[in-house]
Structure 1
């Protein structure tokens, strides 16, 4: 009976782990493979030769094309680039503030999803299902225009709130899966040595969860950077908004969107590599 219980626990933990993006740098040495489904770009690691080579080809090709257009075809590409690049501070500001908010909301939601209190589970579940069922653009417009009538919300505040609430639901599922991927014995051992359940979560479970969910959080950050282009709908001067303003003046839509696409591509690929390096260092340091 005890053997059957242990087998069920192992099967449950294996299933939970397979729901997460693989974070083990030695995964390529194992026989099994995990299908990765993500809206973000693949995170290149040293062990992933195919992904890393694909990343290099894509990144340096995009960088070379952008440099060629800006240097050898200054009119209109250099002019477009100088206008579009002015929107990067707004894009990064909205993305960084929103990912911080999403991590806070996601952590609370994830903890609520594994809580033993039924009403807490219910609240977390309703929040996740509600937010994931509404498109981000609809949430953004609703918060800016509808809620703005009562709270006088400014553009940046509306963008950060909408992105935080939307991605907080996805982050909550990532945190929940990360917590469930930690063996139950960790919690039992922590309680056995005298820690309370909250202390065990804080000092034992959560630090291990961070290592598990880091790649998924990195992908969410990259996805949020791309989806931040939607803030142009509320007249926030991000990269896409600057490009649209240039099009309205010159009608050079193809040229402008090409530069906008290259800028977004280079930024997301660079961030994906940084996330991969951070993950490698985290695993190396244990």
Structure 2
């Protein structure tokens, strides 16, 4: 018990230490302010964005190739060009963008982001580069029922979690019930299936949806907005004064030449037409194929590592050494007691403060560490299920403990735990979808991109469901085959 307490205290100290390290660079950075020089030295300007928000940022499928485009991307390209570096784009969910900035995963964030007072406490913002305004998206059939913002009182309204639209609706619409979701595509699907009466969006995004989907329309809001916090601005890490100044110089040139209205929005509109010219799922087969590929890679690698880790942890838990047993118990209970999503975020952003791990590697590590804890308990249960007489008989033959475990106990335990182990492998395929929150292009990530590109809410979901079923059903048949062979051999 003492060892377990000590282990938990050590874990807490590690977490606190990593948190302190993630915060410390901000103050140092503020004092030295080498942000622009650092970007120019490495030769890349890393942009974090959530490409599901047309016309600000979205993905286009052009001749079978995918790329992130939009008004914000055009602005980022100009800034990168002006400071003579290459633009690198990292894709992730909207609510992870500022975390990526604070932990050094990105140099700046563009995502139709509003510089609210609460956000200004943790990051720096550029000058406002665009005042899009606020709209509501409603079903066309409800146009007479909800002609304006006032008519939305006491209704269910959706908005992206953590956005200005969420807070504005909560503050200014009487009796409203706010439903927050991570993806705009999820909100639109909820609207079209009548789970919501309206969705709060930036005006250009609402108009883009209305223009490309005849079943919805945009209505204007009547919010009394503060221009200093409701326009779109670029977010930077706290203390990045020189980088912010460079961005502001580019923004002034963009405003002077009116590039957003004359060039960038027109370019975004052309890309939107490319996406909506052919919205068949066959046109996006490469997206789904890539999603399946990454899903299988994550599940396969995580499964192998999880088994190896599970065996080690199971043996540690069954050992007579109290320290080893305490470490195994502490690890298993900690991992099983925290959500996989939190673990993925911690590995990518928390551990990323010390080691800058790619999103795919971070996702595999997190899923592997999580799976290892559950597999350890499955293996421990299998070992305990083997009759004690088997151990005694092996000892009477003069076998060592290692030989007994390797040649007698584990083979029999494997037969007992195979169904449970198979269920864990199947769960890995489905649970690996959580890595999409850090931008890994698995099946769920690609599903959301296709929904954003095509403005079709249900069909991409159906295709993903079928693909997941094919993967899990195929794996089930393979596992059943090997289970039958093991039973036959016994």
User: 1:248 Cα shift?
Assistant: 1.8
For the pair 1:111 / 2:318, whether they are aligned, the reply is: no
CA distance in 2, matches of 1:225, 1:103: 15
Matches within 5 A, 1:270-285: 270-285=474-489
User: 1:165 Cα shift?
Assistant: 0.5
SS of 1:147's partner is helix
CA distance in 2, matches of 1:162, 1:75: 35
What is the match of residue 181 of structure 1? 385
User: 1:92 Cα shift?
Assistant: 0.6
For the pair 1:126 / 2:347, whether they are aligned, the reply is: no
What is the match of residue 211 of structure 1? 415
The CA deviation string for residues 119-143 of structure 1, in whole angstroms up to 9 with x for no partner, is 2221111111100011001100110
User: 1:77 Cα shift?
Assistant: 3.1
What is the match of residue 427 of structure 2? 223
The CA deviation string for residues 14-71 of structure 1, in whole angstroms up to 9 with x for no partner, is xxxxxxxxxxxxxxxxxxxxxxxxxxxxxxxxxxxxxxxxxxxxxxxxxxxxxxxxxx
What is the match of residue 237 of structure 1? 441
Contact conserved, 2:292 with 2:442, CA < 8 A, in 1?
A: yes
**Structure 2, unpaired ranges of 5+:** 1-277
User: 1:80 Cα shift?
Assistant: 4.2
Contact conserved, 1:80 with 1:256, CA < 8 A, in 2?
A: no
Matches within 5 A, 1:8-23: none
CA distance in 2, matches of 1:79, 1:141: 33
The CA deviation string for residues 240-274 of structure 1, in whole angstroms up to 9 with x for no partner, is 11111112222212111111111111211121121
Contact conserved, 2:390 with 2:409, CA < 8 A, in 1?
A: yes
**Structure 1, unpaired ranges of 5+:** 1-73
User: 1:81 Cα shift?
Assistant: 4.1
For the pair 1:254 / 2:254, whether they are aligned, the reply is: no
Out of 277, 284, 300, the residue aligned to residue 96 of structure 1 is 300
The CA deviation string for residues 201-250 of structure 1, in whole angstroms up to 9 with x for no partner, is 11111111111111111110100100111111111111111111112222
What is the match of residue 157 of structure 1? 361
CA distance in 1, matches of 2:305, 2:430: 17
State TM-score, norm by structure 1: 0.72
Out of 193, 204, 214, the residue aligned to residue 397 of structure 2 is 193
| Larger helix percent | 1
Contact conserved, 2:279 with 2:454, CA < 8 A, in 1?
A: no
User: 1:86 Cα shift?
Assistant: 2.2
CA distance in 1, matches of 2:308, 2:457: 39
Contact conserved, 1:143 with 1:162, CA < 8 A, in 2?
A: yes
State TM-score, norm by structure 2: 0.42
CA RMSD of aligned residues (A): 1.4
Matches within 5 A, 1:77-96: 77-96=281-300
For the pair 1:140 / 2:344, whether they are aligned, the reply is: yes
CA distance in 1, matches of 2:401, 2:471: 41
Structure with max Cα Rg? 2
**Which range is displaced more, 116-125 or 99-108?**
116-125
Contact conserved, 1:84 with 1:240, CA < 8 A, in 2?
A: no
SS of 2:354's partner is helix
The CA deviation string for residues 153-175 of structure 1, in whole angstroms up to 9 with x for no partner, is 11121111101110111000001
SS of 2:280's partner is helix
| Larger strand percent | 2
For the pair 1:167 / 2:371, whether they are aligned, the reply is: yes
User: 1:85 Cα shift?
Assistant: 2.2
Give the ranges of 4+ consecutive aligned residues of structure 1 lying more than 6 Å apart after TM superposition: none
